[in-house]
Structures are given as structure tokens and as C-alpha cells.
Amino acid sequence: MNSDQVEGKWKQLKGEAKVQWGKLTDDDLDVVAGHKDKLAGKIQERYGKSKEEAEAEVDRFWAK
């Protein structure tokens, strides 16, 4: 899924992201707004994961 498709489906994906990463707030997800790199950064920040771990989780999430 490319970034344009992700941004277009973000409202749907936002709920799924909140379920998967419950520590992310609605404000966090609004700031992310479908950008993979920003989502990985927020996951890294909230969960204390490495950049590589966070990016891998986001890649798996978008591959669904």
C-alpha cells in the first residue's frame, strides 16, 4: 500500500492502530495522519522500542 492510499484510508486505519498500540492517544494519531515514519516515531517514543523495531511493526501493520 503506497502512502497516498494510506492517507486516504487513515480514518479507517486509525481505529485499528489504536487497538494495536493502545498507548497512542487520539492526538498522537491525528499528528501521524497516515505517515508511516511519524507513526513509527510515536511508537518508538511511547513504547521505548528501537527505530528498527518500530518501523518493522508499522510495516507489518500496513501489510495487512
Residue 9 backbone phi and psi in degrees, to 5: -100, 10
Q: What is the pLDDT of residue 10?
A: 83
Residue showing cell 486505519: 13
Where residue 1 falls among pLDDT bands split at 50, 70, 90? Answer: low
CATH numbers and ranges of domains, the chain: 3-63 (1.10.1470.10)
For residue 44, give the amino acid letter.
Q
Q: What is the pLDDT of residues 5-57, one digit of tens each?
A: 766 788 788 899 999 999 999 999 999 988 889 999 999 999 999 999 999 99
Whether the model clears a pTM of 0.85, i.e. scores above it, the answer is no
Res. 4: pLDDT tops 90? no
**Integer distance in angstroms from the first to the last C-alpha of the chain?**
9
- CB-CB neighbours of 39 under 10 Å: 27
